[in-house]
Amino acid sequence: MLSKDQVPEKTPFGWAESGLFSGASERTEPDVFLIERTEAEKDGSIRVYVKFTLSSPPSETWEVATVLVRENGHSVVDDVIYMTANSDPADVWLSKILSDGCDGPRWVGSGHRRTNTK
């Protein structure tokens, strides 16, 4: 087992820093969540707004909107929107984070999109 000072520092890696697996800013285990509201969208999807709270120091709260769609008679998660302070169109969509660096199904490098030259 490595001692604390022997553990190498993790290098940031694009979408992995968004908190898909561990939570952004290490928000791994909120103590409380509250479903604040739901909104039906014109396309038939439903947005479920959830507020998370982490009470251990440093305490903080953050919000997401989970986009649900119907698939085979069940509601499934289609996307997650990480809300900004103003809840404006600049909110960050998980699908956008995960497709950064891709040209369709092909990886072309973080922060890049290949343009079609044909």
pLDDT along the chain (118 residues), means of 10: 54 55 60 93 95 83 91 94 72 80 80 51
Q: With respect to residue 13, please indicate whether it lies within any of the assigned structural domains.
A: no
In DSSP terms, which residues pair with 69 in a beta bridge? 76
Query: What's the domain count of the chain?
Result: 1
**CA distances for 26 relative to 8, 40, 71, 82, 113, angstroms:** 17, 31, 32, 15, 28
Task: Report if residue 23 sits inside a domain.
Answer: no
Q: Is residue 109 part of a domain?
A: no
Given this model, what pLDDT does residue 55 score? 82
Q: Residue 95 is part of which domain span? A: 29-101
Residue 73 inside a domain? The answer is: yes
pTM for this prediction: 0.66
Answer whether residue 20 is part of any domain: no
Residue 108, domain member (yes or no): no
